[in-house]
Structure 1
């Protein structure tokens, strides 16, 4: 990633939402987010070659990206996702 101006970067993490057709019948309000009426939240992790190495979805749209990051366990088990020597 040095050539792109991100020296020392070993990957990327980003969250996104996927819109739902309608409000879920059970606990529907927790799926309401700030961008779309109702959605699911997902978090995607790519390595330095832009290959997806981890994907987590199914959380309500109102969940913060930081909550998904903690549940994913990447901050605790990063060596599971990253090649030794790139950390």
Structure 2
């Protein structure tokens, strides 16, 4: 595999006053969903989807990604993307991560989730402007993440 994809939730401060129920996620919190596609060798983000309500499933979120519609722009011949069981199994999207019977995640998957969680913030969403503001913050964090990797 050349790339890896996973989703993450950005918790909101409280139930949004604007379409609040749509932000209620599978972990019984109010959040924004996000998804990043990274290069495995350096954790640089190459594609992402941000700013959708937390209730959206990862496979649906994936269908909004640029890579989903244009995998050839990211992957060469015989290259694929790693994903967990929430994602569709496609010729270029391999789903090897299954939670073992002991319910413990593999060390590599734990590390990936830890890196992804390092850019999280808490937001309040009361209107479209607040949602746009939260998305701009998340977008800035993703850009800074890549800039830091380039500098190192």
TM above 0.5:
yes
17, 25, 36: which one aligns with 2:17: 25
CA contact (8 A) 1:19 1:38 kept: yes
TM-score (norm 2): 0.47
Q: Decide which moves more: 56-65 or 32-41.
A: 32-41
Show structure 1 runs of 4+ deviating over 2 A: 79-82, 84-87
TM-score (norm 1): 0.77
What is the aligned-residue RMSD (CA, Å)?
A: 1.6
CA contact (8 A) 1:19 1:36 kept: no
The alignment partner of 2:62 has SS state of helix
Whether 1:47 aligns to 2:39 is yes
Whether 1:73 aligns to 2:66 is yes
Q: Distance in 1 between matches of 2:74 and 2:9?
A: 23
Higher helix content, 1 or 2: 2
Deviation at 1:20, TM superposition (A): 0.2
Q: Which runs of 5+ in 1 are unaligned?
A: 1-8
Q: Which runs of 5+ in 2 are unaligned?
A: 80-152
Where does residue 27 of structure 2 map in the other structure? Answer: 35
Q: Distance in 2 between matches of 1:73 and 1:31?
A: 23
Q: Distance in 2 between matches of 1:60 and 1:46?
A: 22
The alignment partner of 1:25 has SS state of coil
